[in-house]
Structure 1
Amino acid sequence: MVSGEKFVVPLPPSSRTVEVKRLSSTPRLFVVENFLSAEECEEIIKTATPLLAPSTVLKQGDQSNGEEKVKDEVRTSETAWLMDKKVPIVAKIRQRVEELIRIPMSYAEDMQVLKYTFKQHYHVHYDFFDPKMYPGRWSSGHNRLVTVFFYLTSVEKGGETIFPFGNTSAEEHHKIQSWGPCENAVESSIKVKPVRGSAVIFYLMKPHGHTHGELDHTSLHGGCDPIVGEKWAANYWIRNGPVQ
């Protein structure tokens, strides 16, 4: 399948189907419109609002358990975590994600909810943990495999999710740098505009590298600053093995 092609995925046990559109093959990037209803988006926002706290990143080079979290200017949003055992709507969406990606959600971390206001962002980064940067975090090829990212609001201007390697020629790859702002990305980068209810799916490992954790560095992406309007989003990180 090439970029721009679409296919239909059934979501049992209901009779509902969704249309999945491929945006890129490298990275493997897809978008699904109307994956969440407006009511579901509003309920997630309402539930997450009192739980919001400043977003953090993992401290690099931690040799112990890789769990030390710090604030950093590369990530300036707010975050809340929702557990499906405590929030019925989250359990419902979690099941829907499993039907979409065909991976057991026992492999998924809890739902992360994000709020970005004017000039808040997450500079381009990887969702997987590079063993060179986080030597105490992962072993034996266990890592994040795929990200399923939902837009809970539409944004009038800005707030895109940017993929610098999408549609970028090999000759331009040397210009791409991680941890930089969206405006520094190459012009040919793919930008996905926030549309309420849409889901973006992108894989963090190579197609034949899931079991042994072969990372896909073209999955580099970032959350751009909203210019007009707030951006609310949520995501699941699904690993290539059960979450302990």
Structure 2
Amino acid sequence: MTLSNFILPSYLVDTPYDLYNQKKKSILLPGKLNKNDCADELTIEDDGLKIFYNVQGHRSWYIAAAVRTDFPIPVEAGLFYFEVYIINQGLDGLIGIGMSEPNVNLNGQPGWNERSYGYHGDDGLKFISNGHRGYDYGPLYTTDDTIGCCVNFFDNTCFYTKNGISLGMAFDDISGGELYPSFGMRNPKACIEVNFGQRPFVFDIDQYAKRIFLNAKEKNEWAKLSEIYKLSKSAIEQ
């Protein structure tokens, strides 16, 4: 099954979300970077999966720049995961990975502005809607690292992974408006490539998702999502 010309990630196959879409085909997944929702300082390559910082010159010219995906993360999926491969950390490693709502300013790292969340590679801090205050979270990340981000809408939490290892919960208040995977940079030569399921993930998200979905079914949490987000009753009961 494909959504927006992208392959459905294996961890979502045969879930209520998948079964619902087989009938309705109406709830799309993030599948690529959005060239129409991207700061001028960033350049997206033709495949929509690779991006680099295009500003050169004196350091005073470097400003934070971000990009969002083509579609928001669908709460109806229950769980969503994506990864970022750091092709080049750039001069200072100023890269941020997270989520933001559609109207958040693109001249800022994820987590700096209201209604955004981010984990940053240069200092290992996590940021929640405030660029002036970061919180200790994980290790730094750099060239050749793969950073993953998983959002769980059953309990409104989010955790990150580094090179296939979970870093533990980052945020426990993921809720509210539409959230788009978001990626920021602030240094020349920085380049990253995103993966929404077009190729195998480094982290074993299939096993993690299997456990989460089984627990959700046992606790009738899919039914709760169905009432709020109008998933079909037949899909929930599978």
So what's the TM-score if we normalise by structure 2?
0.36
